[in-house]
């Protein structure tokens, strides 16, 4: 009887869901510059010129990945 239960539990493996790209994740300055393949100076310049939008949280600067993708278009 125990073997039947063990086999039933093994058969109940969770189905893996496809991983969706987290387009709304926050990127640090370094991550955003690396994602865009630009320097930090260019990233700051684009932020000042409102080409891309910087978000300030706790004295740090972050960028939303989706907004960076839209800015490239």
What is the reported pTM? 0.67
* pLDDT confidence of residue 6: 73
The tokens for 17 are 């869901």
Q: Supply the pLDDT for residue 3.
A: 79
Cα separation of 35 and 33, whole Å? 5
pLDDT of residue 49: 95
How many alpha carbons lie under 13 Å from residue 61 in its C-beta half-sphere? 13
Give the model confidence (pLDDT) of 1-60 as tens digits. Answer: 577 777 777 777 665 655 556 767 999 999 999 999 999 999 999 999 999 999 999 999
pLDDT value of residue 16? 63
pLDDT of residue 62: 96
């Amino acid at each position: 009887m125990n073997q039947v239960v063990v086999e039933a539990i093994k058969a109940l493996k969770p189905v893996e869901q496809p991983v969706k790209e987290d387009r709304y994740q926050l990127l640090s300055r370094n991550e955003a510059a690396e994602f865009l393949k630009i320097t930090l100076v260019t990233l700051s310049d684009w932020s000042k010129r409102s080409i891309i939008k910087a978000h300030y949280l706790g004295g740090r600067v972050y960028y939303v990945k989706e907004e960076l993708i839209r800015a490239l278009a």
